[in-house]
């Protein structure tokens, strides 16, 4: 088993590295990495329905879709991510216990009452500190999980605070749970580095063939290429979302605005505007101008800057319309 400790804190790089290692190495692998602020969404999720668009825009939080299913999770430098890639697995294993037990053992050795609860969550005193997911293909199993060690809980809740009433789709929905940091339950303070060392020490004891591995220049080049071609792209992170209907009402000085959109592969296919506002001119052309645009803040903000909103609506600003679009 190769033990890899990523030195890169870029979410797009580290999520790309999981796919690269899955596809391009023959060894069993144990990977540890930390990411700067990012939201990681599951393979079958509607990305925009999982994120607080305004908050991630203001705080420049990356959004990345991963290989595996399950719900959206928040990463920051206080969160440690672990990943097992295991070869020659005959059938898909729905049980998460085998590859979470090494983590539980380390925490219990530190006096923390950690346990696997429900299908795929690790908890301490009923509060979640780890979400786990799987991906299986061609007799290779990938199981990975988060470990909230000393994360900013406020960021976690704000970044994932989404009003579900705005979306109507068939995507996999995240289940929000009460969360906690591991550091809150340690009897004696332990640094992140020491915590990583303890996990790796346990892996070395469990897998007799385990040894450290450093990415080669060839590895790094291949991961960077995969990142550029896939994991840094809007088409993968947002455009892979299933079709969904979006509906939101917004009250502003000029009256109420109600937006209804149909989005397929991240592209707006239908756009309707309703409300008790006063329009100076017919809004048909305004509505049609959104068809074909991507449902992302940056593009629609730029589009709105090209429109003369004050010549179409009374007492309704560009910011008011933009607020109704997310």
- What is the mean predicted confidence (pLDDT) over 45-68? 92
**What is the rounded CA–CA span in Å between residue 236 and residue 323?**
25
- What is the mean predicted confidence (pLDDT) over 28-57? 94
Task: Please tell me the predicted confidence (pLDDT) of residue 175.
Answer: 65
Task: Please tell me the predicted confidence (pLDDT) of residue 138.
Answer: 92
**What is the rounded CA–CA span in Å between residue 19 and residue 137?**
12
Count, in order, helices (H) and strands (E) of the chain.
11, 15
Task: Please tell me the predicted confidence (pLDDT) of residue 281.
Answer: 85
Task: Please tell me the predicted confidence (pLDDT) of residue 91.
Answer: 86
Q: Which of 6-15, 197-206, 312-321 has the lowest mean pLDDT?
A: 312-321
Cβ atoms of residues 248 and 259 within 8 Å: yes
* Percent of the chain topping pLDDT 70: 99
Closest among 164, 209, 165, 184 to 71, alpha carbons compared? 164
**What is the rounded CA–CA span in Å between residue 54 and residue 45?**
19
Task: Please tell me the predicted confidence (pLDDT) of residue 176.
Answer: 64
Query: What kind and span of H or E run contains 211?
Result: strand 211-212
Q: What is the pLDDT of residues 139-181, one digit of tens each?
A: 999 999 999 999 999 999 899 977 777 778 877 677 667 899 9
Q: What is the pLDDT of residues 272-303, one digit of tens each?
A: 999 988 888 889 999 999 999 999 888 999 99
Distances, alpha carbon 203 to alpha carbons 3, 102, 183, 186, 291, in Å: 9, 7, 21, 21, 52
Task: Please tell me the predicted confidence (pLDDT) of residue 105.
Answer: 98
Closest among 100, 139, 106 to 122, alpha carbons compared? 100
* Percent of the chain topping pLDDT 90: 79
- Sign of the four-CA dihedral 214, 31, 151, 49: positive
Task: Please tell me the predicted confidence (pLDDT) of residue 242.
Answer: 87
Q: What angle do CA 66, 69, 72 make, to 5 degrees?
A: 70
Relative orientation angle of helices 192-206 and 101-109, to the nearest 10 degrees: 120
Tell the residue number behind the tokens 């999980």, with chain if given: 145
Relative orientation angle of helices 11-24 and 217-226, to the nearest 10 degrees: 110
Q: What is the pLDDT of residues 239-275, one digit of tens each?
A: 998 899 999 999 988 899 999 999 998 999 999 999 9
Query: What kind and span of H or E run contains 264?
Result: strand 255-264
Pairing of strands 38-41, 62-65: parallel
**What is the rounded CA–CA span in Å between residue 120 and residue 128?**
10
pLDDT at 326 over 80: yes
Q: What is the pLDDT of residues 184-226, one digit of tens each?
A: 999 999 999 999 999 999 999 999 999 999 999 999 999 999 9
- What is the mean predicted confidence (pLDDT) over 298-314? 91
Tell the residue number behind the tokens 């450093």, with chain if given: 214
CA atoms within 13 A on the CB side of 145: 25
pLDDT at 1 over 70: yes
pLDDT at 16 over 70: yes
**What is the rounded CA–CA span in Å between residue 154 and residue 151?**
9
pLDDT at 64 over 70: yes
Closest among 180, 200, 68 to 117, alpha carbons compared? 180
Q: What is the pLDDT of residues 104-148, one digit of tens each?
A: 999 999 999 999 998 899 999 999 999 999 999 999 999 999 999
Query: What kind and span of H or E run contains 202?
Result: helix 192-206
**What is the rounded CA–CA span in Å between residue 57 and residue 216?**
34
- What is the mean predicted confidence (pLDDT) over 230-246? 93
Tell the residue number behind the tokens 């990977």, with chain if given: 31
Distances, alpha carbon 26 to alpha carbons 41, 140, 299, 307, in Å: 27, 10, 41, 54
- What is the mean predicted confidence (pLDDT) over 51-65? 92
For each of the domains in the chain, give its residue range(s) and CATH number, in order of start.
Answer: 2-237 (3.30.930.10), 244-324 (3.30.390.50)
Closest among 16, 9, 82 to 237, alpha carbons compared? 16
What are the φ and ψ backbone dihedral angles of 28, each rounded to 5 degrees? -70, 150
Cβ atoms of residues 234 and 296 within 8 Å: yes
């Amino acid at each position: 088993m190769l033990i890899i400790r990523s030195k890169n804190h870029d979410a797009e790089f580290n999520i790309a590295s999981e796919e690269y290692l899955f596809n391009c190495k023959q060894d069993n692998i144990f990977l540890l990495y930390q990411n700067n602020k990012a939201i990681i969404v599951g393979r079958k999720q509607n990305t925009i329905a999982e994120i607080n668009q305004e908050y991630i825009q203001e705080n420049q939080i990356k959004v990345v879709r991963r290989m595996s299913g399950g719900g959206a999770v928040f990463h920051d430098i206080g969160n440690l991510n672990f990943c097992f890639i295991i070869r020659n697995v005959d059938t898909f294993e729905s049980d998460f216990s085998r590859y979470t037990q090494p983590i539980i053992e380390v925490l219990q050795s530190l006096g923390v009452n950690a346990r696997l609860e429900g299908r795929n969550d690790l908890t301490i005193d009923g509060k979640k500190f780890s979400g786990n997911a799987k991906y299986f293909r061609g007799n290779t199993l990938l199981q990975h999980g988060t470990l909230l060690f000393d994360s900013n809980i406020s960021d976690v809740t704000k970044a994932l605070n989404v009003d579900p009433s705005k979306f109507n789709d068939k995507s996999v929905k995240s289940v929000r749970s009460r969360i906690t940091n591991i550091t809150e339950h340690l009897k004696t303070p332990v640094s992140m580095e020491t915590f990583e060392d303890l996990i790796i020490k346990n892996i070395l004891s469990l897998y007799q063939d385990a040894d450290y591995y450093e990415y080669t220049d060839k590895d790094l080049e291949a991961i960077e290429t995969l990142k550029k071609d896939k994991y840094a792209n809007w088409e993968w992170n947002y455009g892979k979302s299933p079709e969904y209907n979006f509906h939101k009402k917004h009250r502003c000085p000029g009256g109420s605005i109600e937006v209804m959109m149909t989005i397929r592969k991240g592209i707006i296919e239908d756009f309707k505007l309703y409300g008790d506002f006063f329009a100076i001119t017919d809004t048909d052309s305004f509505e049609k101008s959104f068809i074909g645009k991507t449902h992302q803040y940056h593009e629609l903000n730029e589009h709105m800057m090209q429109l003369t909103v004050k010549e179409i609506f009374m007492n309704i600003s560009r910011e008011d319309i933009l607020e109704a679009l997310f």
